[in-house]
């Protein structure tokens, strides 16, 4: 596993623990030579994790739509910055450049991104690990909703079981690596996106 796509907030949230967690994950990724692939912003948890990766000598690849560049939120110090036209292009390029995915605390954009990637796995468009960095129990209610959907027969238990959930950054990376190592195919079926 060479890269992780991280979905996270353009805000830092109300508690310092979220920013600290982003910085911790970024540091560990850099120390383990894991490339960060993210939304390319310099704000919120996006900016925090990118800054941490770069400060520790790691590589960060940003993918950002032109409309957000126009708002001056693009991170200017990245290893690579890809400017695309749409959010759909952003997600497709992030999927192609990432060997695995981690959702950190965030809002609707984060929920959209991680749910789309889970769906792509379910449909066989990709075959890559998906993890929730459950800082401060942030995803507990979200995961309870998924469990409710399983109980009601809308999501198969196998799909729920495939999701990695961890509150500790080091353990999170260990679990993602183990899952990724067990999955030899890193591919994206672009015809089905």
Extents of the domains making up the chain:
3-181
3-181 has CATH 3.40.190.10 classification: no
Residue 20 near residue 136, CB atoms below 8 Å:
no
Dihedral of alpha carbons 185, 9, 75, 60, sign: negative
| pLDDT for the residue 181 | 77
Q: Is 171 left (phi over 0), alpha (psi -120 to 50) or beta?
A: alpha
Residue 47 near residue 71, CB atoms below 8 Å:
no
| pLDDT for the residue 142 | 98
| pLDDT for the residue 183 | 67
| pLDDT for the residue 124 | 87
| pLDDT for the residue 185 | 55
Show the low-confidence residues of the chain (pLDDT under 70).
Answer: 183-193
pLDDT in tens, 139-190: 999 999 999 999 999 999 999 999 999 999 999 999 999 998 776 555 566 6
| pLDDT for the residue 61 | 98
| pLDDT for the residue 1 | 87
Residue 92 token pair: 């497709």
- C-alpha–C-alpha distance, residues 48 and 25, integer Å: 10
* 164-166 β-sheet, strand order: 80-84, 60-65, 35-38, 3-7, 100-103, 130-133, 164-166
């Amino acid at each position: 596993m060479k890269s992780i796509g991280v979905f996270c907030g353009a805000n830092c949230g109300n508690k310092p623990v979220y920013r600290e967690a982003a910085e911790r994950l970024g540091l560990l990724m850099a120390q383990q030579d894991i490339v960060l692939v993210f939304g390319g912003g310099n704000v919120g948890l996006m900016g925090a994790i990118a800054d941490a990766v770069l400060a520790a000598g790691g590589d960060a690849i940003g993918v950002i739509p032109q409309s957000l560049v126009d708002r001056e939120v693009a991170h200017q110090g990245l290893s690579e910055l890809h400017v695309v036209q749409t959010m759909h292009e952003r997600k497709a390029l992030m999927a192609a450049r990432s060997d695995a995915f981690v959702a950190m605390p965030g809002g609707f954009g984060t929920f959209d991104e991680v749910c789309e990637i889970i769906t792509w796995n379910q449909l066989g468009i990709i075959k890559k690990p998906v993890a929730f960095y459950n800082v401060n129990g942030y995803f507990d209610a979200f995961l309870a909703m998924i469990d409710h959907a399983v109980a009601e027969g809308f999501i198969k238990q196998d799909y729920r079981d495939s999701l990695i959930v961890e509150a500790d950054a080091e353990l999170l990376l260990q679990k993602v690596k183990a899952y990724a190592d067990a999955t030899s195919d890193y591919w994206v079926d672009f015809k089905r996106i």
